[in-house]
Structure 1
């Protein structure tokens, strides 16, 4: 790692610590030439697949959009942020485990529905009604029967 102060390429790791959540590694380094210390953070670079929309468009996976969709369905429902974060993490793990460069938006939507069904049945019905474009009360009724079932 190049020293940010003198530009010398010979730096030494003095201390290494993993973050509490295990997301990154913090390293204290010392330059062998100017003897100054600095900190670096190491984080895994993950590339998510592109999402293929119903109309064929390809868009980059957007974690903020996923979180907003789930949060909207869960609005005013008794689900903790920790449980929401865990659901998002499981969806993202599935995205990465697929190993594909593209994933159909329908598959992503089904994964979201599976997670919502486990988190909160009302949120599940809310999301499903929009996701599946319910046109009448009978569609709601059959989904509610399925949830009760």
Structure 2
């Protein structure tokens, strides 16, 4: 492992621990040259399925798109970042357990709505109104009544 401070290639593992969520291994390393310490994480690399858009295009899954979508719905709402991270982890777990190489974007959208409904009702309504393309006030009213 190359030292991020001096670029020396010889580093020694000083301490190894399982991360809090048990999905990665945290290692403290020390450079043999400059003796500075730094942390690395080791986690399994899993292939995510392709996302099939409504128009039939296939795109790579990007966690950044998922996170920005959730954050947009949750903008100015009192939801902790750790709760958003947990929701993303559950959605990604759903993607893995599907066991298929392609997942329709509509299914991911439904999972996002489910997570938002648990996190914050206002964010859920914001997301659902855009996702389901509401164009009438009655659509909003029925969704709000459903949430109540």
**With structure 1 as the length reference, what TM-score do the two structures score?**
0.78
Aligned to 1:134: 134
Kept in 2: contact 1:48–1:61 (CA 8 A): yes
Distance 1:142 1:72 in 2: 22
Distance 2:27 2:84 in 1: 27
**CA deviation profile, 1:74-100 (whole Å, cap 9, x unmatched):** 011111111111111111111111111
Which structure has the bigger radius of gyration?
A: 1
Count how many residue pairs are aligned between Structure 1 and Structure 2: 137
Kept in 1: contact 2:25–2:41 (CA 8 A): yes
Kept in 2: contact 1:19–1:26 (CA 8 A): no
Gaps of 5+ in 1: 6-11, 30-38
Kept in 1: contact 2:13–2:27 (CA 8 A): no
Distance 1:126 1:63 in 2: 20
Say what the alpha-carbon RMSD is for the aligned residues: 2.8
Give runs of aligned pairs for residues 10-49 of structure 1, distance below 5 A.
16-22=16-22, 23-26=24-27, 42-49=42-49
**CA deviation profile, 1:86-134 (whole Å, cap 9, x unmatched):** 1111111111111111100000000000000111110000000000000
Change (3 A) 1:16 1:133: same
**Structure 2 residue matching 1:134: 3-state secondary structure:** coil
Matched, 1:65 2:88: no
Choose 40-49 or 118-127, whichever is displaced more: 40-49
**With structure 2 as the length reference, what TM-score do the two structures score?**
0.79
